Amino acid sequence: GARKGMADTALRTATAGYLTRRLVDVSQDIIVREEDCMDTEGAYMYREDSDRVGQSFAVRVEGRYLVEDVIDPTTKKVIVKARTLANKEDGLAVEEAKVEKVKIRSVVTCKSKRGICQHCYGVDLGRSELVKIGQAVGVVAAQAIGEPGTQLTMRTFHTGGVAGGSDITQGLPRVEEIFECRPPKGEAMISEVDGKIIDIVSENKKTVTVKIETTEGEVVEYQVPSESTLVVSKGQLIGKGTQFNEGHIDLKKLFETMGQEAIQRYVIGEVKEIYAAQGEPLQDKHVEVIIRQMLSRVKVIEAGDTDLLPGDIVEKDQFEESNREALAAKEEIATGEQLIMGITKVALSTESFLSAASFQETARVLINAAVTGKDDHLRGLKENVIIGRLIPAGTGYRK
């Protein structure tokens, strides 16, 4: 155990550094750009997730803007009004009233172009006041997630070598698996339908068949590998996205089945749980910044009359901009599908070729950029550092 721990630590501090570097690369151009993007979508934060992530509901609500009034379930009074910034008292009031979920403004749903707004981010945790315009929250998030990452590896001593569900990835490799959007080791099957489990049969040694009668009255079967532990039982009512067996959910499948909100809840829960287990509580908003980037790419299906190419993977901003131009000219807009991508891929598919080149596969990126005649608008931090300009953040921030 100890020897394994030592070798692990030596090898993994490097991985942690590399993870931080990839996180910085993917999130560096998220800067606070405006006061309020007027978003009304927001995202739910659930009380039941709080025990798992090692932070009280009060602490998670504090410092966030609310999208809807928070109503006390017993007295039906409004505890916190919509469009206000929840302070410590508000957070505790919400916790005490045992509210099940609150709808808050979130970085993931922020509608700002090329950055985010103050209201979707909320309080800057370093200074305990509303985040300032020009704040490089992307880099802060990358460091907030990456730095304890080194701690996660140092602590192999304590947990390493203990036989616990060994095929399931834990600790830092699991964080990496999530952010890179890899199909997980020890994958959990999820239901794609709402319905009731009518039977669970093990026909052969390898798989267990879960039979579900959907709300429409059809019968669907799922094959679950028998070496994994089932977490559902016969007669149980299940909703779309319910996990059948222990293990990790493949983000791409979850996204296809359940969409963005489920991804946000799942990723924040998983990542925070890993850090909490190591006594390094992590703030939701840092993880949200990274999720925003994982969901920031669109694959063009039909190009319409825009300058995009079918099959291209572009930034959502770029896609929407091209469509706005097409609309203004009364031309046909492009259609695309929202992707979920791992952070390395996102970092490499950025509009800025300078940033991509400094990240990985430099020659290839530069050759591609030269051949296709790209220009770089120097919108992120990295591109400006590379050519020695003032970075567009903090005091150098300009509209």
84: pLDDT strictly greater than 70:
yes
> pLDDT band at residue 148, thresholds of 50, 70 and 90?
confident
How far apart CA 334 and CA 307 sit, in angstroms, is 9
Mean per-residue pLDDT over the chain, rounded? 86
At the topology level of CATH, where does 295-396 sit? DNA polymerase; domain 1 (1.10.150)
Confidence (pLDDT) at 4? 57
Comparing 147 with 108, the larger pLDDT belongs to 108
3: pLDDT strictly greater than 60:
no
Mean pLDDT value across residues 187-205:
87
Domain extents in the chain: 2-30+140-184+256-293, 195-246, 295-396
Span 195-246 CATH architecture: Beta Barrel (2.40)
Confidence (pLDDT) at 157? 45
How far apart CA 71 and CA 80 sit, in angstroms, is 8
198: pLDDT strictly greater than 50:
yes
Confidence (pLDDT) at 161? 44
Sort residue 143 into left (φ over 0), alpha (ψ -120 to 50) or beta.
alpha
Q: How far apart are the first and last CA of the chain?
A: 55
* Lowest-confidence region among 95-99, 204-208, 236-240: 204-208
Mean pLDDT value across residues 58-77:
95
> pLDDT band at residue 160, thresholds of 50, 70 and 90?
very low
> pLDDT band at residue 166, thresholds of 50, 70 and 90?
very low
6: pLDDT strictly greater than 60:
no
Mean pLDDT value across residues 160-189:
75
Backbone angles phi, psi at 189, to 5 degrees: -80, 145
13: pLDDT strictly greater than 90:
no
Identical fold at 2-30+140-184+256-293 and 295-396?
Answer: no
Confidence (pLDDT) at 152? 73
The predicted-structure confidence for 341-392, as pLDDT tens digits, reads as follows 999 999 887 777 777 777 777 888 788 878 877 777 777 778 777 777 777 6
Using the structure block, give the residue that is written with the tokens 């390395």.
344
Q: What is the 3-state secondary structure (H, E, C) of 268-317?
A: HHHHHHHHHHCCCCCCHHHHHHHHHHHCCEEEEEECCCCCCCCCCEEEHH
204: pLDDT strictly greater than 80:
no
Query: Which contiguous run of DSSP H or E holds residue 151?
Result: helix 137-154
Confidence (pLDDT) at 398? 61
Mean pLDDT value across residues 60-80:
95
Mean pLDDT value across residues 83-90:
95
Confidence (pLDDT) at 324? 92
**Vertex 340: Cα angle to 214 and 49 (nearest 5):** 65
* Lowest-confidence region among 45-54, 74-83, 102-111: 45-54
**What is the rounded radius of gyration, in angstroms, for the C-alpha atoms of the chain?**
23
The predicted-structure confidence for 20-49, as pLDDT tens digits, reads as follows 999 998 998 899 999 999 999 999 999 999
Instruction: State pTM to two decimals.
Output: 0.86
**Letter string b/e over residues 172-187, b meaning 16 or more CB atoms within 10 A of that residue's CB:** bbbbbbbbbbbebebb
Q: What is the CATH number of domain 2-30+140-184+256-293?
A: 1.10.1790
The predicted-structure confidence for 272-331, as pLDDT tens digits, reads as follows 998 888 888 899 999 999 999 999 999 999 999 888 889 989 999 889 999 999 999 999
91: exposed, middle or buried (Cβ count in 10 Å: 0-12, 13-18, 19+): buried
396: pLDDT strictly greater than 70:
no
